[in-house]
């Protein structure tokens, strides 16, 4: 599988965001999900020249697999600006089942009641398990079920495929 | 693996925490993971919604065989902020006083499908005993056992030190007062040495210093002026009058003159030294009010840090009961 350059996809996403949000004022807050989503959000944030502070979300305390896997050993702190009444552009690297996004939305609502949340993902590999869709996608890639697409970074950002052990 | 070794019984087969009984024998990595996790919980405490859903549906039992207000209420608050259901049992005044044995109490509580026991007991080793006999998948947290250990207090103190001083390397820490009766001091000495503090000192009269103290890795001082010289952190301990059966002390005023932390004595430590106390403080017995309320005191920060620390330990231990394998960050991300 040939994988695209993340920088090209980020440029596509910037164009998409600019089209959907002609005015990027202080009602818009960008939030990246640790770790990969935060890297993408960082780049989008500087390219879009957003006036609000960039938010970072660690969803470890909200995961639905805690009872199977326990607590993540390297939990980072979530750092969010005021999101009450804001439009949030939630950013992740790869969307698959949709469970990360569900957890992220649950966490966001514990910080306040946003006016709207849109989802931006660098890659969409399908295989959704929840009714969640991305509004802004860098590229949709058809990924076999025994493979995962992984983003490494932050410098340089690279996409690789990993085959799961059966 | 020796099942009688409390440091071994605390970890599951993947080396992750499943009970928290003592800081003794735990690796620097585990102690650091506890501190990091607690740090992350601090961020959730300033939100309008302070709860996270980690322990939703779990039942936590505060099993206090010995009185406590602060520790019990911070565990209760921590459990609630993890979305667990909590049951407070004042065993000191109920079943045990009616003659029920510890094991019977335990079996009764297990029959109510409890997921975690927070245990405080006047006997050293009580929490360890419970952890050995408890049903699989039930986590046990030691909230203080006799003179042995009080690991969550020690770790919230480590969290406070790390947040104030940025780390443990190059730090000289003095623990002052009634070391003999102090389970907190023992847990602190183990944690400080594991986390890499440069020097740990204990200061007190010989009657209140346990004879084996230097073998734990602490330098003993009888003279407070000498002991405080150049220290970065001063941890004052409460005089545990309720545990003193013999004439260990001449008088409280004599103790204060020799070992009370006054403004003058504080001046012997480094100018940026911090002053800590696990509470409740006896003003004018261990510490002068001007010091307890002064700019170098972090006593109330210790209280605030108690909740995220207890949330961290409870979440980690509950997770360690459930986890089949140590998950690695990226792999888990991919599974989602």
Q: What is the pLDDT of residue B192?
A: 98
The answer to whether the CB of B320 falls within 8 A of the CB of B12 is yes
Return the CA Rg of chain B: 20
Comparing C-alpha atoms, which of A112, A119, A68 is closest to residue A91? A119
The structure's pTM equals 0.89
Secondary element (H or E) of residue A144: none
Taking chain B, what is the end-to-end CA distance rounded to the nearest angstrom?
Answer: 34
Residue of A nearest to B326 (CA): A69
Instruction: Please give, rounded to a whole number of angstroms, the shortest distance from the CA of A10 to a CA of chain B.
Output: 21
- In whole angstroms, give the CA distance from residue A96 to residue A76: 22
Q: Answer yes or no: is pLDDT of B153 > 70.
A: yes
Chain B residues with CB-CB distance to A96 below 8 A: 336
Confidence of residue B107 (pLDDT cuts 50, 70, 90): confident
Place of tokens 């001063």: B234
Q: What is the pLDDT of residue B194?
A: 97
Q: What is the pLDDT of residue B332?
A: 40
Q: Answer yes or no: is pLDDT of B134 > 60.
A: yes
pLDDT in tens, B3-57: 556 567 999 988 999 999 999 999 999 999 999 999 999 989 888 899 999 999 9
Tokens of B311: 């949330």
Chain A residues with CB-CB distance to B44 below 8 A: 61, 78, 110
Q: How far is CA B296 from CA B235, B238, B262, in A?
A: 12, 18, 12
What number of other Cβ atoms are within 10 A of residue B119's Cβ?
28
Tell me whether A129 touches chain B (CB under 8 Å).
no
Residue of A nearest to B39 (CA): A77
- In whole angstroms, give the CA distance from residue B41 to residue B58: 19
CB distance B319–A66 less than 8 Å? yes
Tokens of A104: 């992220």
Q: Is A157 strand, coil or helix? A: coil
Tell me whether A36 touches chain B (CB under 8 Å).
yes
Comparing C-alpha atoms, which of B309, B324, B327 is closest to residue B20? B309
CA atoms within 13 A on the CB side of B31: 29
Q: Is A101 strand, coil or helix? A: helix
B329 vs A68, A74, A100: nearest CB: A74
Chain B residues with CB-CB distance to A164 below 8 A: 334
pLDDT in tens, A25-69: 999 999 999 999 999 999 999 999 999 999 999 999 999 888 888
CB distance A70–B320 less than 8 Å? yes
What number of other Cβ atoms are within 10 A of residue A49's Cβ?
7
- Chain A with chain B: Cβ pairs closer than 8 A: 92
Interface of A with B in 132-151 (CB under 8 A): 148, 150
Tokens of B259: 């070992």
Surface-to-core class of residue B69, CB atoms within 10 Å of its CB (0-12 exposed, 13-18 middle, 19+ buried): exposed
Place of tokens 């052990």: A165
Say which range, A66-80, A136-150, B272-286, B290-304, has the weakest mean pLDDT: A66-80
Angle, CA of A64, B133 and B124, to the nearest 5°: 105
Which 3-state string (H, E, C) describes chain B? CCCCCHHHHCECCCCCECCECCCCCCCHHHHHHHHHHHHHHHHHCCCCCCCCCCCCCCEEEEEECCCCCHHHHHHHHHHHHCCCEEEEEEHHHCCHHHCCCHHHHHHHHHCCCCCEEEEEECCCCHHHHHHHHCCCCCEEEEEEECCCECHHHHHHHHHHHHHHHCCCCCCEEEEECCCCCCHHHHHHHHHHHHHCCCEEEEECCHHHCCCCHHHHCCEEECCHHHHHCCCCEEEECCCCHHHCCCCCCCCHHHHHHHHCECHHHHCCCCCCCEEECCCCCCECCCECHHHHCCCCECHHHHHHHHHHHHHHHHHHHHHHHHCCCCCCHHHHHHHC
Comparing C-alpha atoms, which of B228, B24, B234 is closest to residue B145? B24
Interface of B with A in 53-82 (CB under 8 A): 53-54
Q: Report ipTM for this prediction.
A: 0.83
Give the mutation candidate from B18, B313, B333, B335 for the A interface (greatest A CB count, under 10 A): B333
Provide the percentage of residues in chain B whose pLDDT is more than 70.
89
Q: Is A121 strand, coil or helix? A: strand
Tell me whether A75 touches chain B (CB under 8 Å).
yes
Rounded mean pLDDT, A84-93: 97
Give the mutation candidate from A61, A111, A165 for the B interface (greatest B CB count, under 10 A): A61
The answer to whether the CB of B33 falls within 8 A of the CB of B316 is yes
Say which range, A13-22, B249-258, B292-301, has the weakest mean pLDDT: B249-258
Angle, CA of B89, B93 and B99, to the nearest 5°: 105
Comparing C-alpha atoms, which of B135, B82, B81 is closest to residue B111? B135
């Amino acid at each position: 599988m040939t994988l695209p350059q993340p920088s090209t996809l980020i440029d596509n996403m910037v164009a998409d965001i600019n089209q959907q949000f002609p005015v990027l004022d202080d009602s818009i807050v960008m939030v990246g999900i640790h770790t990969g989503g935060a890297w993408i959000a960082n780049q989008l944030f500087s390219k879009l020249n957003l006036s609000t502070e960039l938010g970072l979300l660690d969803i470890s305390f909200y995961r639905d697999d805690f009872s199977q896997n326990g607590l993540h050993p390297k939990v980072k702190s979530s750092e969010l600006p005021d999101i009450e009444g804001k439009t949030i552009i939630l950013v992740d690297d790869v969307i698959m089942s949709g469970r990360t996004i569900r957890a992220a939305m649950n966490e966001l609502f514990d910080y306040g009641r946003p006016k709207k949340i849109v989802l931006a993902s660098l890659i969409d590999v399908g295989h959704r398990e929840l009714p969640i869709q991305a509004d802004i996608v860098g590229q949709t890639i058809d990924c076999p079920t025994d493979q995962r697409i992984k983003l490494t970074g932050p410098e340089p950002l690279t996409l690789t495929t990993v085959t799961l052990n059966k | 693996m020796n099942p009688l070794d409390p440091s071994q019984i605390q970890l599951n087969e993947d080396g992750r925490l499943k009970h928290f009984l003592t800081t003794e024998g735990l690796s620097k990595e585990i102690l650091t993971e506890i501190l990091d996790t607690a740090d992350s919980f601090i961020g959730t405490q300033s939100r309008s919604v302070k709860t996270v859903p980690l322990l939703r549906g779990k039942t936590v039992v505060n099993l206090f065989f010995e009185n406590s207000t602060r520790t019990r209420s911070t565990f209760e608050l921590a459990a609630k902020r993890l979305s667990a259901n909590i049951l407070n049992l004042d065993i000191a005044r109920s079943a045990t006083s009616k003659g029920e044995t510890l094991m019977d109490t335990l079996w009764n509580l297990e029959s109510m499908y409890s997921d975690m026991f927070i245990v405080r007991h006047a006997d050293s080793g009580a929490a360890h005993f419970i952890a050995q006999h408890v049903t699989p998948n039930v986590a046990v947290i030691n909230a203080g056992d006799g003179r042995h250990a009080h690991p969550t207090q020690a770790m919230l103190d480590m969290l406070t030190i790390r947040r104030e001083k940025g780390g443990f390397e190059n730090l000289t820490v003095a623990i002052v007062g009634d070391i003999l009766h102090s389970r907190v001091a023992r847990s602190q000495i183990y944690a400080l040495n594991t986390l890499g503090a440069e020097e740990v000192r204990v200061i007190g009269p010989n009657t209140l210093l346990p004879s084996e103290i230097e073998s734990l890795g602490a330098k003993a001082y009888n003279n407070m002026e000498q002991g405080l010289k150049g220290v970065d952190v001063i941890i004052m301990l409460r005089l545990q009058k309720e545990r003193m059966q013999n004439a260990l002390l001449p008088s409280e005023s004599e103790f204060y003159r020799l070992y009370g932390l006054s403004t003058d004595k504080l001046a012997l430590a480094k100018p940026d030294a911090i002053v800590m106390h696990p509470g409740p403080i006896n003003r004018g017995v261990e510490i002068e009010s001007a010091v307890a309320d002064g700019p170098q005191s972090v006593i109330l920060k210790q209280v605030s840090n108690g909740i995220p620390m207890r949330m961290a330990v409870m979440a980690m231990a509950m997770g360690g009961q459930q986890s089949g394998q140590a998950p690695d960050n990226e792999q888990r991300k991919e599974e989602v």
